[in-house]
Structure 1
Amino acid sequence: MLVNALVNALGNVPEALGRETLAAAVAHFHEHGYASLGRIADEDTVRALARRADALMLGEVQIPGLFFQLDSATGNYDDLTFGLGYQGPSLEYRKLEKLELDPLYRAWIENPVFEQVVRAIVGDDVVLYRAILMNKSASGGTPLPWHQDGGRFWGLDREPTLQIWTALDDAPIASGCVEVLPGSHHAGLVTPLGGLVQQPFVDARGADRAAVPLPARAGDVILLHNHLWHRSGRNTTGKPRRAFSVCYMDAATRCLRKKRAPRTFTRVFASSS
């Protein structure tokens, strides 16, 4: 099978988490909104995915249908531009999306550990909302303010809950690692629109004081609930900080947008029935 062959080519991927390890991770995820699985991607896997990311940004590998967004020249989130797509070879792209179209990333999306976790949290019939590379380049990148990944902005008939995040580089605090507000997912969306959490709500929750950083090593995997408040700062290490995030959701989910044709979503994992 192509996926299995590619996974094997990436490196040694564990076939499964132990029952107790899986149960503990799922329980922590539900209670706190996040959970660390530790190092799932070995050195060969991390190297292959990181090199592929650079090759895509530099145009050495071209895959029709990918979405690109360059970082702002100022390093300010409010100065980001949208809808411009690929603008030539650069390692300053902030985001690459639709990486399920790339066979190497598709193999990682469907690795056995992720399948095990997704089936435990989402269910047996699963599609992708998105598969994205988030890049904070060696020159610093752009801070990402407190936000939630859901709401009307996402245009769905139900809220997804699970994102699986893989570090492709070491992500210490100085690199702008993910920071979370534990348990914040229990209150649901701050506003129906979702997305950025406005400053009055941040102040009211004392989020800046209560933030918990989640430093990671290359190959570490973290589960994140879509409604968990999370953010990341600027990268001050002089080295890239790349991470790959995949949002899995129930296959019954439908797109609600009306200005364009409703989105269809890519099914992953063979049916367990």
Structure 2
Amino acid sequence: MLRVAPDSVDVDSALAHYAEHGYARLGVLLDEEGLAALRERTDDLMLGRVTYPGLFFQLDAPTGRYEDAPLGLGWQGPSLDYRKLEKLELDPRFRAWLENPLFERIARAVIPGDIVIYRAILFHKGQAGGSNLPWHQDGGKLWGITQEPELQLWTALDDAPEQGGCLEVVPGSHRGGLVTSLGGVIPPDRVDEAHAEERRLLLPAKAGEVFLVHNHVWHRSGPSRTGQRRRAFSVCYMSAQTRCVRKKKAPRVFTPVFRHGAGSTAPGSTGPTE
């Protein structure tokens, strides 16, 4: 699915920008055939044409308010109004993309030892615009793990212009760490104190473009006002030494993707095939 040679990308410069600013552009990396395959599979999953036990679904809020998005309902029948699909590592097409050799090269440069994923997730804004996603950080007690991950790779499956629900960040905000120990949505008073609105940077993207995103950089996205869908696939990579410490449910088991020193994905971790 890569449209470039894995060793042709200047990973060092991208990682330096990511370390300083909390994000970095890698360019358009997913080829047209790969884009078509992942878009098709997204709709297959939303419409129930392809199913996997354990796949997570969340419908969008009819109001367009993040706070109104229903929780805990899961699959609600065929619909193109799901805002989130998680555990996409179960699907061979998405699995192939998240295990591509360039992503492996980047992950190995940041994470020592064996590497697993915390989540592989699709964020979707439908033709009606979808909902807003407020300023937040991806970590803290909400994530329920023993150490904070840093690295996410975010791939645009559709064009995401400035009015089309593009990613927005507060550059450098990751260097301050978590705003609250809980993580997640940043309290409005802290947003005001940080002058986030004045400091925000919009990151419009072309279909197939990939960003590095630090878990702690403040980021958000608004609704799409273009009348076009906006699908984006995000994967969080972390050390295999990370453990789940949640108590209310059985601890999560994290999917292995890259074994240290093996030069390829871990044996037995290639997932389902087509």
TM-score band, normalised by the shorter chain?
A: over 0.9
Identify the residue that residue 89 of structure 1 maps to in structure 2.
78
- The code of the aligned residue for 1:174 comes to Q
Identify the residue that residue 128 of structure 2 maps to in structure 1.
139
Counterpart of 1:247 in 2: which secondary structure? strand
Give per-residue Cα distances to partners, 1:116-171, cap 9 Å, x unaligned: 11001112410010000000011110000000000000001110000000000000
Mean alpha-carbon deviation: is it higher for 190-199 or for 254-263? 254-263
Percent identity, aligned pairs only, is 58
1:106 aligns with 2:101: no
Q: Is the 2:112–2:260 Cα contact (8 Å) retained in structure 1? A: no
- The code of the aligned residue for 2:82 comes to Y
Identify the residue that residue 27 of structure 1 maps to in structure 2.
16
Distance 2:161 2:248 in 1: 42
Distance 1:80 1:264 in 2: 26
1:189 to 178, 181, 188: 178
Structure 1 segment 35-74 matched on structure 2, within 5 A: 35-74=24-63
Distance 1:12 1:140 in 2: 29
Q: TM-score, normalised by structure 2?
A: 0.93
Identify the residue that residue 8 of structure 2 maps to in structure 1.
18
- The code of the aligned residue for 1:209 comes to E
Q: Is the 1:147–1:231 Cα contact (8 Å) retained in structure 2? A: yes
Identify the residue that residue 201 of structure 1 maps to in structure 2.
190
Q: Give how far 1:270 is off.
A: 4.0
1:218 aligns with 2:207: yes
1:168 to 157, 160, 177: 157
How many residues of Structure 1 are paired with residues of Structure 2 in the alignment? Answer: 262
- The code of the aligned residue for 1:238 comes to G
Distance 1:185 1:201 in 2: 14
Q: Give how far 1:13 is off.
A: 4.2
Q: Give how far 1:12 is off.
A: 4.4
Give per-residue Cα distances to partners, 1:70-115, cap 9 Å, x unaligned: 0001111111111100101111000000000001100001001100
Distance 1:151 1:224 in 2: 16
Identify the residue that residue 65 of structure 2 maps to in structure 1.
76
Runs of 5+ consecutive residues of structure 2 not aligned to the other structure: 263-274
Structure 1 residues 17 and 34: alpha-carbon distance in aligned structure 2, compared to 1, 3 A threshold: farther
Distance 2:14 2:140 in 1: 25
- The code of the aligned residue for 2:226 comes to T
- The code of the aligned residue for 2:117 comes to L
Distance 2:169 2:113 in 1: 28
Q: Is the 1:14–1:113 Cα contact (8 Å) retained in structure 2? A: no
1:246 aligns with 2:230: no
Counterpart of 1:175 in 2: which secondary structure? coil
Q: Give how far 1:27 is off.
A: 0.4
Counterpart of 2:206 in 1: which secondary structure? coil
Structure 1 residues 12 and 127: alpha-carbon distance in aligned structure 2, compared to 1, 3 A threshold: closer
- The code of the aligned residue for 2:6 comes to A
- The code of the aligned residue for 2:26 comes to L
Q: In angstroms, what is the RMSD of aligned CA positions?
A: 1.1
Q: Is the 1:14–1:112 Cα contact (8 Å) retained in structure 2? A: no
